[in-house]
Copies of this chain bind each other. A is one copy, B any other.
């Protein structure tokens, strides 16, 4: 890759991160190009479609996801609180910009999605947390990872679209957690 190409690539990712955070995932891509100081042609050569840009942005997630999992697994309290804590981390992770939760949650179960592979990191994270709870025999037996992801993703999506704050989201997550924890 030529030096100028790499420079523009990096600028575009950075600009996209900014614009998406400010205006949501529906923001104009020309705006992204403009802010990166390049023409639209350059943007579309590097990133054939919107999702490719999202994919690049999500690179930096991996580390943060790992940290969140580690923190969760180190938790010593009751299983319900562990699960609840993880849910809150997860909701924050996927709520980086407007439209994110919906995008990610639906990509999670769609191997055709351009960001499917990135989402598998999140799925693996869930697997680890769920496995830890199973070890303590705290979880209902018939639930699958994908179901948990969809439940929490649903809450995050609603929260995103209704612009709910953490205080409003928490009781929703509690209900989900209570429904998952063994009675």
- A158 on the interface (CB 8 Å rule)? yes
Q: How many of these chains are in the complex?
A: 2
Q: Which of A142, A151, A154, A171 has the largest count of B CB atoms less than 10 A from its CB?
A: A154
Interface positions, chain A 163-183, Cβ under 8 Å from B, are: 164, 171-172, 174-180, 183
Interface positions, chain A 122-150, Cβ under 8 Å from B, are: 140, 142-143, 147, 150
A162 to B108, CA, bound (A): 9
Residue positions of A touching B, CB distance < 8 A: 102, 105-106, 109-110, 140, 142-143, 147, 150-151, 153-155, 157-158, 161-162, 164, 171-172, 174-180, 183
15 contacts between A and B (CB under 8 A): A102-B157, A105-B161, A106-B162, A140-B175, A142-B171, A147-B175, A150-B172, A153-B154, A154-B154, A154-B157, A154-B158, A157-B158, A157-B161, A176-B179, A179-B179
